[in-house]
Amino acid sequence: MTKFRVLCAMALMAVASFAHAQDSTMKKGDKAWTDLEKQLADVNDYWVCAHKYHKDHAMDCVDSKNAIWPGTFFEISRQGEVTDKQDMVKRQTATAKAHPVSPGDAGPNPQDFKLMAVYGNVAMATDHTVFKAADASGKIAVTDEANVLRIFVKLNGKWVPAAAALVPEVK
């Protein structure tokens, strides 16, 4: 329940901070909204190295994330830990060195991406992410699931990931 409160608080702070800059020309369901939702879903897949952006070499994915994340990027994990870009890159680099190959569709696999709000140069979306990893026999299996709040910002004319908060899937 605490993780849910953190997620809600983060969303409310973002909305309150950027509400005055809301883009009134974009309405949920119109062509501009739908186009932005598709664009952000693609950025999201690139961000997590999923689907067409999957990389078989784990370090290639870490390098890709390091390049796309702005310096102030942060994430709240499924366990409630807040981690900034520097710590995430350090942790993911260590994991990539220990497990250099990322077979098939191992890793995060976002599904059901939905653009929820746009406030000027800030966009918030949700997805359901399925995490997969190779088991001892090499077979790819689902290891976890989460609902994710993803926050994007437009920097220098380009949408980039700014933050994420993962909430464990309740079954």
Q: Beta strands 140-155 and 158-168: pairing type?
A: antiparallel
Q: Which residues does 158 contact at the CB level (< 8 Å), separation at least 6?
A: none
Name 25's Cβ contacts closer than 8 Å, sequence gap at least 6. Answer: 32
Q: How many CB atoms lie within 10 A of CB 111?
A: 11
CATH second-level architecture of 2-168? Roll (3.10)
Q: Is the pTM of this model over 0.85?
A: no
Share of the chain above pLDDT 70, in %: 85
Q: What's residue 6's pLDDT?
A: 47
* Domains of the chain, residue spans: 2-168
**What average pLDDT is seen over the chain?**
87
- C-alpha 77/C-alpha 98 separation (Å) is 21
Confidence of residue 9 (pLDDT cuts 50, 70, 90): very low
